[in-house]
Structure 1
């Protein structure tokens, strides 16, 4: 099964507490990190693939080390396909690739510098970190992250980030990756909401 998430921002202490950007109501980054690991593993099993659409952790100045990020990612179930976000850095991707623990005879980690596309239920998922303006599309959705607490007012743009407002439309625990079925549900809700405006 495929899952989707963005903007985990592991170790990002500036997001802790009440703020206008992406409030995360935890006392410490350790508590925040643990909550995301638990939410991820409650939904994703070892046979699943998770598309992480950028911003794994905060810039290197906030992260203890590449090893610390690696140790977090080792605790996450499934295979992870990363799309580079604005807070991701090439040296981390190289470190993860070099130390990849493997996954059922394949690599656990795969990397895409800009984006990737898959098909689900006759719908194309174009996955990027930044939202895209696709124009008139049919059976094509742009899954993205980056904007945390806002949503693009286009039905075909679905924010899959941890702090995305679209998540409030479904009963999804904070920090959980979204399933493909939930992506389709969010699109239907958003399309109806925007038509009724």
Structure 2
């Protein structure tokens, strides 16, 4: 079992193509590419932490979740209404999480933090929301699809992007 992280998929949202300058001609193309890329790296038994902003319309979320591999945990983003949180298919739903992975403390939230629990003891802050437009602090990583070729990313891959972080 591998653990992945992602955020800011914004499935079904045409505005995201223009605002974030995503390289897709249509919403259908964007959604299909993100589902294909997700399933090309995530196996059915893997775990994915989605750090918010799943889809434009909550009514679309059940079909999207059914098409995506893995056990999916959601941490609410600013574009996730209550109806998205109550859709069957989430392994868990929350606003914030702390977990340990590969002997590394992780602090997860849709929003990037200026400071976080364990920051000066090596804990990492994984977030979404900024679509790659925020200069990261040490030990802080944007896991959004705009930064990671529109696919979920592993902790090892994140650490390789900037070299191992102490």
Structure 1 length normalisation: TM-score? 0.76
Q: 1:103 — aligned with what?
A: none
CA RMSD of aligned residues (A): 2.0
Mapped partners of 1:124, 1:74: distance in 2: 30
| SS of corresponding position for 1:15 | helix
Q: How does 1:56-135 map to 2 (within 5 A)?
A: 56-58=54-56, 63=57, 66-94=58-86, 96-97=87-88, 100=89, 108-112=90-94, 114-134=95-115
Shift of residue 10 of structure 1?
A: 0.4
Kindly indicate whether residue 21 of structure 2 is the aligned counterpart of residue 23 of structure 1.
yes
The count of corresponding residues between Structure 1 and Structure 2 is 163
Shift of 1:48: 0.3
Deviations 1:83-139 (A, max 9, x none): 000000112212x13xx4xxxxxxx53101x21111122211100000012275122
Higher-Rg structure is 1
Structure 1's unaligned 5+ residue stretches are 101-107, 168-173, 192-197
TM-score (norm 2): 0.89
Q: Is contact 2:50-2:75 (8 Å) kept?
A: yes
> Where in structure 1 do 4 or more consecutive aligned residues deviate above 3 Å?
none
1:187 CA drift (Å):
4.5
Match of 1:162 among 138, 141, 145: 145
Q: Partners in 2 of 1:121 and 1:109 — Cα distance?
A: 21
- Which residue in the other structure is 2:9 paired with? 8
